[in-house]
Amino acid sequence: MLNTKTGAARTWFGVKGRHAGYVAFALHRATGILLVLYLFLHFGVLTSLLAGRQAYDGVIGLMTNPVTEVLELGLIFVILFHGLNGIRLVLMALDIGTRWHEAMFWIALVASIVLTVAAATVML
């Protein structure tokens, strides 16, 4: 039942007092939504190609700034975590490593962070 006092988003994504499996599930939901939003943004940038080279160059010009680079690092983290956690979910669905699902979540999270930091050293 939806708690009207806290709102739908807080109920859906609320991780306070939850176990690691629920946190992994909520993060997987959030990263999935972010990837869908990025996909629409990406289609928008590609659609600017239809308006010609000048329009595309204008859009790309907007994207070449430090804020965009930080957002790209965020995108890298989102892709890595969603992918690694997705592998964890597939393994669990196949009943492989279900006893270690919490450890696999932490490994996926830490690996995502470490690989994002490695990407940051190359990008920045």
Give the chain's length.
Answer: 124
- Residue 2 lies inside a defined structural domain of this protein: no
- Residue 108 lies inside a defined structural domain of this protein: yes
- Residue 27 lies inside a defined structural domain of this protein: yes
- Residue 4 lies inside a defined structural domain of this protein: no
Q: What is the pTM of this model?
A: 0.80
**pLDDT tens digits along 94-108:** 999 889 989 999 999
**pLDDT tens digits along 45-78:** 888 888 888 888 888 888 888 898 899 999 999 9
Residue range of the domain that includes 63 = 21-123
Split at pLDDT 50, 70, 90, the class of 14 is low
- Residue 93 lies inside a defined structural domain of this protein: yes
Question: Which one, of 117, 121, 105, lies nearest residue 25 by Cα?
Answer: 105
Cα–Cα distance for residue pair 104/106, rounded to 1 Å: 5
Domain CATH number, residue 100: 1.20.1300.10
How many independent structural domains does the chain possess?
Answer: 1
